[in-house]
A and B are shown apart, each in its own frame.
Chain A
């Protein structure tokens, strides 16, 4: 097992031309600043500019194309001629830096949970999480598994759950419409809730990911 100290300690890496490069993983690979609550979240009423921004955010949802479970199969039909989610302003991006919506498609084992957390933290806020299928709601058919989580909302702030095992593409579209409505109403504050209850989320994550070898906030 890679221990925490080994992975994050300073080390000297041989370069291509025989030179030596000093690597400080915490400074070079990660940004360890704690997330902050946005100004929009603190406002009692959204201003007109906020409303306009929210409208733009709701009409241009970029999904991180990452499939953690069987639900990834149900996402593909959304790109095909039959359902074609592009016409509703929904697009897929290959990198978390450019995505706004993290679709957790199905069960999360501990290994995938670690990756999902890292991907979520790398996304620029405002960012949203959608949980697909009963696996993310209460564990689904893996409710008694020794390495599959039961409730996603203890580890990431979930905006919308879509029930089913697995939900069909139609219900995914329905869930996306609901998400758009929430964002338009100014309720898409997942990132701010994550920042507000950051310590609680981190404690839950670290409770099950016992060999935590990243800084606490790894964007």
Chain B
């Protein structure tokens, strides 16, 4: 397959993922509103917000790192989606996945948060600094069970290639990692909640909190970049989970319902449960999910 075609396929992937992400954002907020017995925003409101934010003039910058913060954040989302095989067996939608891509993806999962921390730290706004401190603490706590469950999967399949892991799950529903290694699956699902920026773990970004956490100073196009990433990143992560735990997808009709249901898992939890404080969420992650993650590693090694 020629490089031109691969790049075209990558751009097509990005386009699809971004639109799906924006629509899902709108639908999610609509669901939240309906649970509150409100009418809620129009489902296409995220598009309008995005256009409006990109069309604001009069931007203020606070330095080089302030520019790079949103760009790092977007890089993590785009990088994640570019190195995940979307459709198993499709050469085009495998994008740039290669034999060791799982390590790179673990890196990308954390990369955006770090970039954002540096960028919003430069803005000099105290609320950003507090938000960064809280956000990093919470993301780190959620990351430990996540990495443990991923490691468990890697040990199980003796492979660091996501394509190989997906390929090993193709022979039937019972061959999905979620059923062959249920401990890792449950751990990953719990850690999934922590990295989706939704209630109960969204205290860092909640508008009601000290004002809005890290992006307090971000406005206009900067905020537009962050919003774009907020559309891409959760969908990319959902597809990664589908690949690792739910047998991947050999076609679009198989991918869409799996990804949608997994996405809705975080939406349902977010709608039902109230927000945790940072210390509460850290404690929560370091209890059940961490224990399950360790157990899954032990089990996969000795069983």
Check A13 for interface membership: any CB of B closer than 8 A.
no
Check A86 for interface membership: any CB of B closer than 8 A.
yes
| Bitwise interface map of B from 239 to 264 toward A, beta carbon under 8 Å scored 1, else 0 | 00000000000000000000000000
Out of B38, B52, B127, which one reaches A60, CB within 8 Å?
A: B52
- The distance in angstroms between the C-alpha atoms of A105 and B249, with both chains bound, is 54
Chain A residues lying within 8 Å of B215, measured Cβ to Cβ, are 98
* Shortest CB distance B47–A (Å): 9
Q: From known contacts A53-B51, A60-B48, A94-B207, infer whether A84 and B39 are also in contact, taking CB-CB under 8 Å.
A: yes
- In A68-82, the 8 Å CB interface with B consists of 80-81
Chain A residues lying within 8 Å of B219, measured Cβ to Cβ, are 97-98, 124
Out of B36, B56, B127, which one reaches A125, CB within 8 Å?
A: B56
- Is B220 a contact partner of A60 (Cβ separation < 8 A)? no
- The distance in angstroms between the C-alpha atoms of A157 and B37, with both chains bound, is 37
Interface centre among B56, B208, B216, by most chain A C-beta atoms within 10 angstroms, is B56
- In B212-227, the 8 Å CB interface with A consists of 212, 215-220, 223
In the complex formed, the residue of B with least CB distance to A33 is B60
| Bitwise interface map of B from 14 to 40 toward A, beta carbon under 8 Å scored 1, else 0 | 000000000000000000010011111
- Is A31 a contact partner of B216 (Cβ separation < 8 A)? no
Number of A-B contacts (CB under 8 A): 84
- Is A81 a contact partner of B36 (Cβ separation < 8 A)? yes
Chain B residues lying within 8 Å of A91, measured Cβ to Cβ, are 41
- Is A57 a contact partner of B55 (Cβ separation < 8 A)? yes
- In A182-198, the 8 Å CB interface with B consists of 191
- The distance in angstroms between the C-alpha atoms of A60 and B42, with both chains bound, is 11
- Is B33 a contact partner of A219 (Cβ separation < 8 A)? no
Q: From known contacts A93-B212, A125-B58, infer whether A56 and B48 are also in contact, taking CB-CB under 8 Å.
A: yes
- Is B218 a contact partner of A57 (Cβ separation < 8 A)? no
Out of A35, A56, A87, A124, which one reaches B41, CB within 8 Å?
A: A87
Out of A35, A81, A92, which one reaches B37, CB within 8 Å?
A: A81
Interface size class of B (residues with CB under 8 A): 20 to 34
Check A17 for interface membership: any CB of B closer than 8 A.
no
- The distance in angstroms between the C-alpha atoms of A38 and B217, with both chains bound, is 22
- The distance in angstroms between the C-alpha atoms of A124 and B58, with both chains bound, is 6
Check B57 for interface membership: any CB of A closer than 8 A.
yes
Q: From known contacts A53-B55, A81-B38, A126-B56, infer whether A89 and B211 are also in contact, taking CB-CB under 8 Å.
A: no
- The distance in angstroms between the C-alpha atoms of A91 and B49, with both chains bound, is 10
Chain A residues lying within 8 Å of B217, measured Cβ to Cβ, are 95, 97
* Shortest CB distance B251–A (Å): 36
Check A19 for interface membership: any CB of B closer than 8 A.
no
Chain B residues lying within 8 Å of A56, measured Cβ to Cβ, are 48, 51-52, 55
- Is B48 a contact partner of A89 (Cβ separation < 8 A)? yes
* Shortest CB distance A147–B (Å): 28
- Is A84 a contact partner of B48 (Cβ separation < 8 A)? no
In the complex formed, the residue of B with least CB distance to A52 is B51
- Is B52 a contact partner of A94 (Cβ separation < 8 A)? no
Chain B residues lying within 8 Å of A93, measured Cβ to Cβ, are 207, 212
Chain B residues lying within 8 Å of A31, measured Cβ to Cβ, are 60
Check B124 for interface membership: any CB of A closer than 8 A.
yes
| Bitwise interface map of A from 46 to 73 toward B, beta carbon under 8 Å scored 1, else 0 | 0000001100110110000000000000
Interface set of B (CB-CB < 8 Å, partner A): 33, 36-42, 45, 48-49, 51-52, 55-60, 124, 127, 207-208, 211-212, 215-220, 223
Interface set of A (CB-CB < 8 Å, partner B): 28, 31, 35, 38, 52-53, 56-57, 59-60, 80-81, 84, 86-87, 89, 91-95, 97-98, 100, 124-126, 191, 219
A-B CB contact pairs (8 Å), 9 listed: A57-B52, A81-B36, A87-B38, A87-B39, A95-B127, A124-B56, A124-B58, A125-B57, A126-B57
* 7 tightest A-B CB contacts, nearest first: A94-B211, A97-B219, A56-B51, A53-B55, A125-B58, A60-B52, A87-B39
